[in-house]
Structures are given as C-alpha cells and as structure tokens.
Amino acid sequence: MIGIFDSGVGGLSVWREIYRLMPGESCLYLSDGAFCPYGPKDPAFIRERAAKISAYLIGRGAEIIVVACNTATAAAISLLREKFDIPFVGMEPAIKPAALHSKSGVVGVLATAGTFRGPLYLDTLARFAGDVRVVEQVGEGLVEAIEKGVFDSPEIDDLLHCHIDDMINAGADHIVLGCTHYPFLEKAIRRIAGPEIVIVNPAPAVAAQTMRVLSQRRKISCGIEESVFCSTGDITVLKMLVRREIPNVDNSIFTKVVI
C-alpha cells in the first residue's frame, strides 16, 4: 500500500497522478484537515504532525509514503527518513524545468510561506534558478478556498489576480505551482494568466518518482486497487475530489480519524 498525506485535500492532486500511472496500486490517503493549512504554522508543529501521521500510515500497512505537501516536505522529510525505515517521496519545487525552458528569463512561483522559508526551496533556488529572475508570491487564501470546495468563482479570480498579476507584469512565462492544492485551480489560473503562460505542476513527476522507488522494492501491482481516504477533519470535499477521478466509489472508503 502507498501511503500519502497532506495538510488537506491538496495532496489528491498527487494521488490522482499516482492512480493514473499505477491504477492497480492501493493507496491510503490522509488529509490532516483538522490542522489545515500548514503554511503559516511553526515547522516544529508540522514535524510533529508528519511523524504522527507517518506512524499511523505505516501501522495500517504503508510500505512507502508520499509527503504530498510542499510545506511538510520542507519542514519534515529529513526527520521522517531518519525516524522510519521505509522510503519517503517528497515534493520538490519545480523551479528547474521552469528555469530551463523559460524564454523570458522570468519565472513565477506560487507557494505557501512555509515552502518559501524551507531549506529545500532555498537550495533548489540556488542550484537551478541561475540567471533566471524568480518572482515569489504566497498564495494567501487559496488553500482555505479549496478546502471549502471553491475552485472557480469571482472571489477566486480576485485572489488570483492579486497573486499572479505581478508575475505577468514582470514578464514571467512560467508559473510554478508550489503547493499541491493549487493544481485544483489550474483552470482559473490559466484564465487569469493567459494561454501563453506555462503552468508547471510537479505532481506527475512525483508520481513517476514514486513508481521508480516502489519498483525497486517489488513489482508494480496489476491487480484491483482498494484505496482508503481518511481525514482528521471534514470529508465532504475529499469525497467530491476523489469522485471526480473515480465516480462510483462507495462511501465506505471514506473515514474520519483522530490522530
């Protein structure tokens, strides 16, 4: 079983890529909705939550864990790899492909405050940004809207204009989605940014890395997947997003948990 967790439902953008790539693999997804969002929280708190959630996922049979949260990856993945004897796959800001393919020499990054202050982001920036100008923007309010199931509305457009207009005005030709929640706003982001802007979603690359790591341990399953989706908070939006990918799933695969 592949364990996957995020502060909320955003990590489902990674789960759906894993599901598309490995439809026979069972996943155990956990949304830490009771403590979402992670972005503004203290890194020590995030490390504590990540360790508790990882122990829970391992206890339920996870043999590999995907930290489908940029903020949690930045704060906790080193600790998790030291603490637990299974592989962890984390999120890496997709600055490298954006910088390599930018023609304008300007790249926008939309992320949480926790991601921007993390050493992983700063190291990636130092290694791959090179001569490219990076315009950073905290996506304030976006995670909260997605957790409420709001993906396309005038209010979302207003928020995105606040976050994206400066990137476009600076000449950015790529926008990197540095939070796993943001791919659920991709349609709205494309409308605001315009068709000429490349939206960089790292989720497919993370799914491919998960497959590589898992295939080193055993054969990829071709059987029938039996996935479970849990949340420490409300499960309404969790159900809705899973059913976008698999319409006829039974209610029994969704559970609320206390961790």
Section 33-48 average pLDDT: 94
Each residue of 162-184: pLDDT tens digit? 999 999 999 999 999 999 999 99
Would the pLDDT of 224 be above 90?
A: no
Query: Could you tell me the pTM of the whole model?
Result: 0.93
Instruction: Tell me the mean pLDDT in the region 81-108.
Output: 94
Catalytic hit among 27, 36, 69, 230:
69
- According to the model, what pLDDT value does residue 221 have? 86
Sketch out the chain's domains with CATH numbers: 2-91+204-256 (3.40.50.1860), 95-201 (3.40.50.1860)
- Residue 93: band (very low, low, confident or very high) from pLDDT cuts 50, 70, 90: confident
Indicate if 222 belongs to the active site: no
pLDDT at 115: 87
Q: For 125-170, how does the pLDDT look when each residue is reduced to its tens digit (9 = 90+)?
A: 998 888 899 999 999 999 999 999 999 899 999 999 999 999 999 9
DSSP the chain: -EEEEESSSTTHHHHHHHHHH-TTS-EEEEE-GGG---TTS-HHHHHHHHHHHHHHHHHTT-SEEEE--HHHHHHHHHHHHHH-SS-EE----THHHHHHH-SSSEEEEEE-HHHHTSHHHHHHHHHH-TT-EEEEEE-TTHHHHHHTT--SSHHHHHHHHHHHHHHHHTT-SEEEEESTTGGGGHHHHHHHH-TTSEEE--HHHHHHHHHHHHHTTSPPP-S----EEEESS--HHHHHHHHHHSTT--GGGEEE---
Residue 179 appears among annotated catalytic residues: yes
Active-site hit among 27, 36, 162, 179: 179
State residue 158's pLDDT score.
Answer: 94
